[in-house]
Amino acid sequence: MKPIFDFFLKTCILAILFWLSLLLTGLAKEVDVPSVFYAWLLSVLNASAGYLLYEYAYHKDNREFYKIVLGGHGIRALCVLVSIAALMLTKSVERVEFVLSFVALYFMHLILEILAYQKKNQFEKRSSS
């Protein structure tokens, strides 16, 4: 399976498991669901953008690769910070629930993103041999 499809498949599976666990454990009644949804959406968009930039930069020379990946990381971080500030300033979210959800989801998606990078490297090594 191509690494990009594998990444998005795992992202979908993680999302289904996350939302099912929230619903089945009864936590959906305890937390502000829109706050958790915004945190989830922001985390998914951030991880997806990161992986797509990595895919785009993979076959570029080292200088261009680092410019795209690290520059993209800076731009993504700025977009996340602006989004979080906008959500909090407009009082669209419950702050504590949003922040706790975002931090947990961010690290889960970060791990998924790193594993996808490794899978892409293995896939490319096998296909070039």
Asked, for residue 128, whether it belongs to a domain, the answer is no
pLDDT > 70? residue 1: no
The predicted pLDDT at position 83 comes to 97
Asked, for residue 69, whether it belongs to a domain, the answer is yes
Residue 44 to residues 25, 61, 64, 122, Cα–Cα distance (Å): 22, 28, 25, 24
Asked, for residue 129, whether it belongs to a domain, the answer is no
Asked, for residue 36, whether it belongs to a domain, the answer is yes
Number of domains in the chain: 1
**What's the pTM?**
0.89
Asked, for residue 80, whether it belongs to a domain, the answer is yes
Per-residue pLDDT tens over the stretch 53-78: 999 999 999 999 999 999 999 999 99
Average pLDDT on 1-25 reads 90
User: For residue 110, what are the domain limits?
Assistant: 3-123
What is the number of other CB atoms lying within 10 angstroms of the CB of residue 99? 15
Asked, for residue 18, whether it belongs to a domain, the answer is yes
The per-residue pLDDT of the chain, averaged, comes to 93
